[in-house]
Structure 1
């Protein structure tokens, strides 16, 4: 019988590592194929550096919904079906009579005109971030609370104010 070729300890360790890692990588690729990508339209200023700063800080879970893959720059999605959608780079809202709330230091204008889907848009931050929440599946307040840390990297240059009826102001 011919002598067995000598292999180094390093070569045997590498072969063992590949034997262990290969099935794990294959399983990851197979499972990734199960979750469909959420198709979103990117916002006008999605390529802004500030949006990249937001996207890299997005949490894995929002309102107890797992993060999903999206197909557009400056976006995020959570839930299956997607219950929370985020787009960075939308136009900054101007003065409005819509309700404006502050959550964890981030001001949000709330558009409830398409209930039960609520649209939250950051106020006083450029570019603005828009979050659309299906309020039948998740709480809008919980969603924007979970996203506040990521969104707060865009500096605030304005804040919510209360509109006062001039008749109520005493000179």
Structure 2
């Protein structure tokens, strides 16, 4: 086994500190998310939803992802990302799928390593909310989004 000593050992902590600082530094660039392409009627519902979305969710200020669109919104450097007019998730056909009801809005739950994804059910268009790992066991952000969804995206027929 080779041991580090002398000047090489003295440089090691500085190199590690620099590597950690570079790896943890954040950029001012907004997150990038794909913009859905719903039919015109659903896009109109999404535009109405966009106008009603709160300025902050779960204590995070609104910070919309790129490219800018009325079909997407974000809060807290992509901690919370909403996409409106997404396709119906395949998991919605699974009778074992989990769902939660938050203030009258039902959401399909999909657990992922990067954080949960929720998609509305029984609405005229699907609204998807992804949360990062900080919200692994917390549906609190959905409480801030339920009223705007309920007010602008009617139940499906």
In the alignment, which residue of structure 1 is the partner of 2:132?
134
Contact 1:90 1:130 (C-alpha < 8 Å) held by counterparts: yes
Give the 5 Å matches for 1:14-163: 35-45=28-38, 48-70=43-65, 71-73=67-69, 74-80=71-77, 82-93=78-89, 94-96=92-94, 97-112=96-111, 114-136=112-134, 140-152=138-150, 153-157=152-156
User: Structure 2: 5+ residue runs without aligned partners?
Assistant: 1-26
Change (3 A) 1:49 1:136: same
- CA distance in structure 1 between the partners assigned to 2:57 and 2:93 by the alignment: 28
- CA distance in structure 1 between the partners assigned to 2:84 and 2:129 by the alignment: 9
CA RMSD, 1 decimal? 2.2
Larger Rg computed on CA atoms: 1
- Greater share of helix: 2
TM-score, structure 1 length as denominator? Answer: 0.64
- CA distance in structure 1 between the partners assigned to 2:34 and 2:136 by the alignment: 22
1:46-92 Cα shifts (integer Å, max 9, x gaps): 86100001111111111111110332420001113x20011000123
Q: CA deviation at 1:99?
A: 0.5
Q: CA deviation at 1:117?
A: 1.0
TM-score, structure 2 length as denominator? Answer: 0.69
- The structure 1 segments of at least 4 consecutive aligned residues displaced by more than 6 Å after TM superposition are none
- CA distance in structure 2 between the partners assigned to 1:44 and 1:126 by the alignment: 15
